[in-house]
């Protein structure tokens, strides 16, 4: 099978491409390689993938519709997995236009390419942030999600609406993933685990928002990409007997991918300290603008569709990240 992945130099895109290549798939990666964070990390991810002869890549933005269309036409994919996006909650407060350009215009271009080439399945990343101010947990795909708190979350909810319209108009099977706090080796430097480990090892304080009264459904990256790989062959359809569809008029599905286990932020930090054998310098802060106190996924639909439920423990996942961090940055500890 030939699979086109946008954001292949990104954290999740890299791990998914690696997983699919090991399974014998032919993968083409498409990535802007922008400097939102350390570009050398992205380059190193791609260098690993390029060791496999079944991986090829294009460097260009999603907004460059001519380049995107040409690349899709030349590769002739069976499936498109669209993971590229301008990520980050805080950055969306500083530079909201970047989210409109990448997440709205870029996603529109991807959907147009998928429609024109009539792929078997278009799978696209959304986020648990679309649940916004919802406080009924665990979050279910059937819950209303109309109270987004950041422009990042709003662009992702817009992607879901755009996708439903394309699924309906063009009978294009589309699955939207709502990811829950993904972490693991080769993670993004702007994510909590990376920032905490980096700061603790450098004897710098860590910022703990809402005085630590935060809960997250931490999802280990290997669990996440394995779930995505299982869903590639599970394209939604408009059959009335398909009770796992999110629409009764379009081949469209929204699906949570999380660990189905909310963990208190302070317990997460305790685990990091335990594995590092070093205490953090804790700087307790008020809630940051646009953030939410808790996330927690109901993943029963994922399990019903695939028979799989992410289950990596925090202890195992955090240790895997720390081992990678020390090796990658050549950190020597006692």
Express each pLDDT in 82-94 by its tens digit: 999 998 777 888 9
**Residues 297 and 256 sit within 8 Å (Cβ to Cβ):** yes
What is the total count of domains within the chain? 1
Assess if residue 288 is contained within a domain.
no
Residue 241 exposed, middle or buried by CB count within 10 Å (0-12, 13-18, 19+): exposed
Assess if residue 209 is contained within a domain.
no
**Mean pLDDT value across residues 264-287:** 97
pLDDT tens string 61-78: 999 999 999 999 999 999
Assess if residue 327 is contained within a domain.
no
**Mean pLDDT value across residues 174-203:** 97
Assess if residue 138 is contained within a domain.
yes
Q: Which residues belong to the active site?
A: 152
pLDDT, mean over the chain? 95
**Mean pLDDT value across residues 36-48:** 96
- What is residue 334's predicted lDDT score, i.e. its pLDDT? 64
Assess if residue 323 is contained within a domain.
no
Assess if residue 194 is contained within a domain.
no
Q: Residue 109's domain is classified under what CATH number? A: 3.40.50.720
* CA-CA-CA-CA dihedral for 144, 147, 152, 155, to nearest 10: 60
Assess if residue 324 is contained within a domain.
no
Predicted TM-score (pTM) of the model is 0.96
**Residue 26 belongs to what domain range?**
2-180+220-259+296-311
- What is residue 245's predicted lDDT score, i.e. its pLDDT? 80
Assess if residue 113 is contained within a domain.
yes
**Mean pLDDT value across residues 50-54:** 98
- What is residue 242's predicted lDDT score, i.e. its pLDDT? 65
pLDDT tens string 87-131: 877 788 899 999 999 999 999 999 999 999 999 999 999 999 999
- Taken in order 210, 212, 215, 216, the sign of the CA dihedral is positive
């Amino acid at each position: 099978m030939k699979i086109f992945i946008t954001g292949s130099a990104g954290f999740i895109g890299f791990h998914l491409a690696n997983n699919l290549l090991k399974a014998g798939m032919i993968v083409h990666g498409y990535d802007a390689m922008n400097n939102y964070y350390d570009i050398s990390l992205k380059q190193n991810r791609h260098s690993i993938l390029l060791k496999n002869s079944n991986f090829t890549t294009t460097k260009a933005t999603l907004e460059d519709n001519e380049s995107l269309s040409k690349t899709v036409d030349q590769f002739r994919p069976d499936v498109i997995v669209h993971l590229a996006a301008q990520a980050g909650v805080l950055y969306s407060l500083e530079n909201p236009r970047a989210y409109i350009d990448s997440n709205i215009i870029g996603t529109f271009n991807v959907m147009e390419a998928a429609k024109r080439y009539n792929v078997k399945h278009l799978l696209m990343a959304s986020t648990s942030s679309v649940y916004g101010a919802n406080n009924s947990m665990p979050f279910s795909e059937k819950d209303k999600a109309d109270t987004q708190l950041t422009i990042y979350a709003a662009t992702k909810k817009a992607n879901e609406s755009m996708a439903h319209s394309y699924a309906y108009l063009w009978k294009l099977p589309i699955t939207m993933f709502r990811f829950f706090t993904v972490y693991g080796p080769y993670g993004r430097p702007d994510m909590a685990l990376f920032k905490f480990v980096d700061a603790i090892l450098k004897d710098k304080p860590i910022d703990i928002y809402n005085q630590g009264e935060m809960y997250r459904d931490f999802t280990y990256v290997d669990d996440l990409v394995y779930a995505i790989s299982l869903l590639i062959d599970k394209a939604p359809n408009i059959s009335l007997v398909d009770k796992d569809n999110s629409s009764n008029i379009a081949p469209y599905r929204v699906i949570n991918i999380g660990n189905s286990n909310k963990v208190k932020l302070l317990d997460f930090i305790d685990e990091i300290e335990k594995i590092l054998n070093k205490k953090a310098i804790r700087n307790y802060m008020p809630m940051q603008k646009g953030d939410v106190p808790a996330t927690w996924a109901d993943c029963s639909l994922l399990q019903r569709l695939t028979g799989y439920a992410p289950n990596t423990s925090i202890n195992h996942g955090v240790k895997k990240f720390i081992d990678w961090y020390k090796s990658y940055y050549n950190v020597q500890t006692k």
